[in-house]
Amino acid sequence: MLVVGAGGIGCELLKNLVLAGFEDIVVIDLDTIDYSNLNRQFLFSKQHVGMSKSRVAKESVLKYNPDVKIKSYHGNVKDSTYGPSFIKQFDLVLNALDNLSARRHVNRVCLAVGVPLVESGTAGYLGQVQPIIKTVSECFECAPKPSPTTYPVCTIRSNPTKPIHCIIWAKMLFLRLFGKSDDSNAVTDLEETNQQENNDLEELDENEREGVELAKKFVEDDKMKLEQEKDRSYERWIFHKVFHTDVLYLCTLKTLWKGKQEPKPLLLDQLLASMEVATPQNSTGNVLIPDQQVWNVKQNAEVFLKVAKELKASVSEDNKVLEWEKDDDLHLDFVTAASNLRCSIFHLPLSSRFDVKSEAGNVIPAIATTNAIIAGLMVLEAYKILNKQKDRHRYHYLYKNPTRGKLILTARLLEPNPSCYICGSKFANLKINTATTTLNYFMKEVISKHLNIGAPSIFLGETCIYEAAGGEDEDDMGMDYQLPKTLQQLNIIDNTILKIEDFNSDYELQLSITHQTKFPSEEVLFELSGDKASKKHVEKLEDTPQNPEAEDDLQIISGSTKNAKRKREQSTENTSQKMNLVLIDE
């Protein structure tokens, strides 16, 4: 069998499999071990930091049973190396992944080659296990998953009202300075000025113009100071530009601050000369560990200067592009300091390094006990699949608080959803303006973002409209010359049907195109849907199977502290309410 992921759930799962008697196991993981993993991923210790998770996990579990045959791969399961031909050699795949994209990929490949999959996830005290068997049960994508929370760019750039807005801005600043930025970055090129925006101010009413002209004069006068800071050092120039000059410009937009407190630009020398004293205690007087302490504004300024200088030197020396990593101390220090400085400007509360890491890294606290319970339930489902006990498969849901006196509830498997893009009819409908939509937009928003197809080939009849670049030749641009063309120019018009193939996951989809020019709102540019379901899908949550005598699983744990023991229920309760969670193991 194949175990995908050797993190929180993966470590528990590998240990369980070895102790349960499974003798032929393959594990794959692309990650390396970090100090932050050691509190819950018990197969690793300090001397393993920086090493491959899959390799160390293999070596550690062999100590439980040296006779077990285990092979490890350090790689990305989405790579073509681990495609359909690799997956179909296994009797079962067990997912212990931490991101939706990889989960979708494994789900599609397993369905394509007919290999059963046991999906899992945890989020704090919550957990779930989902057996996925082709033609028997719903797949991972039958039910829609909630999209990550997004924030308007204008709020991030000009009018933050919550600390999270400043944290997102700080990450964008990091990418603008040291990484790969794009047009969606709310932090503009730091070499640009606000001249064009200042010109727009002349359109204001006459009674506002006098104050605006005075503010514009302040901005003009600040240019000399900005140049002086640039001559002194890179980090001082960045500080003055983003925490003073840009904020000074925002202060000229008087209508933006009606009824609100204006932002307060920061002056570096004044901050460094201030007498602020660090207070490593919370409101109750308890001494806090370093990561839970909230730096004052002066400390944030000092950290910002130090880290910006080091990051700039690192990028310049190696001529490299950085990606923000929550577990990199320099990266985290930069975002913590930058976000707190911006919070102080907009009169928002400051955050600790720990809080910034949780928010910026989208980290849900991981609990080792939750991982252990879910891994155990996965092994139970693995036994059922390998023994072909189809009538005994169950979904398992772990709750934080008892529900009807129980922490774990089970549910019968749902049949595949006919309208699912993946395991249903594989036929979807797209309403879109073919006259104005470019192939580039179609590829990014429809194919990549909404259908999650990574390496598409698109055919109209026998004609190949687009094929993703591939191979090792970096100069191979594939058919990118087609991207600026509209769908209509490519003969993709009303009532045409496209065949879309995904080389990476051996997946094929028929997409029916309907030309439409009007949508419910200006923000909606297309509508994507599958075939209408031929029947309703209603999930039944149950405490036990209908025949409790035939069930020998540990299925329910009592939520009572007075009677925390295994027990069987003699009755069956059904409910039509479905619990639909997206859970991520960190």
* Spatial CB neighbours of 262, under 8 Å, sequence gap ≥ 6: 251
Q: Is 39 annotated as a binding residue?
A: yes
535 belongs to an annotated ligand binding site = no
Beta bridge partners of residue 428, listed in sequence order: 511, 530
Annotated binding-site residue? 6: yes
Residues pairing with 460 in the sheet: 463, 498
3-state secondary structure of 367: coil
343 is in an annotated binding site: no
Q: Which of 517, 506, 549, 149 is nearest to 359 (CA)?
A: 149
Do the annotations mark residue 102 as ligand-binding?
yes
8 is in an annotated binding site: yes
Letter for the amino acid at 165?
Answer: H
CB 326 within 8 A of CB 357: yes
518 three-class SS: coil
Query: Which of the 8 DSSP states describes residue 488?
Result: G
Angle (CA) 339-342-347 rounded to 5° is 120
Integer Cα distance of 424 and 135 in angstroms = 9
Partners of residue 501 on adjacent β-strands: 457, 508
Going by DSSP bridges, is the β-strand pair 427-432/526-530 parallel, antiparallel, or unpaired? antiparallel
10 is in an annotated binding site: yes
DSSP assigned state of 445:
I
- Helix or strand or coil: residue 62? coil
412 belongs to an annotated ligand binding site: no
Whose CA is closest to 265, among 331, 322, 221, 310? Answer: 221
Decide: 310 and 317 in contact? Cβ < 8 Å: no
Does the annotation list 468 as a binding residue? no
DSSP 82: G
Give 36: exposed, middle or buried? Use CB within 10 Å, 0-12, 13-18, 19+.
middle
98 known member of a binding site? yes
Phi (first) and psi of residue 138, to 5 degrees: -60, 150
- With b for 16 or more beta-carbon neighbours within 10 A and e for fewer, the 126-164 pattern comes to bbbbbbbbbeebbbbbbbeeeeeeeeeeeebbbbbeebb
40 in a labelled binding site: yes
Neighbouring-strand partners of residue 527: 431
Residue 59 structure tokens: 């070596």
Based on the residue annotation, tell me whether 11 is a catalytic residue of this protein.
no
Ligand-binding annotation for 38, yes or no, is yes
217 is in an annotated binding site: no
- Tokens at 582, concatenated: 């997206």
Q: Is 231 exposed, middle or buried (0-12, 13-18, 19+ CB in 10 A)?
A: exposed
Is 126 known as a binding-site position? no
Q: What is the largest CA-CA distance in the chain?
A: 86
Q: What's phi and psi for 470, nearest 5 deg?
A: -150, 180
Is position 142 annotated in a ligand binding site?
yes
Rounded to whole angstroms, what are the CA distances from 560 to 403, 557, 565?
Answer: 11, 9, 9
Question: What's phi and psi for 244, nearest 5 deg?
Answer: -130, -65
Q: 11, 110, 154, 251: which one is catalytic?
A: 154
Q: Specify binding-site residues for Zn(2+).
A: 139, 142, 420, 423
Q: Specify binding-site residues.
A: 5-10, 29, 37-40, 53, 98-103, 139, 142, 420, 423
- Among all residues, which ones are annotated catalytic? 154
Q: Specify binding-site residues for ATP.
A: 5-10, 29, 37-40, 53, 98-103
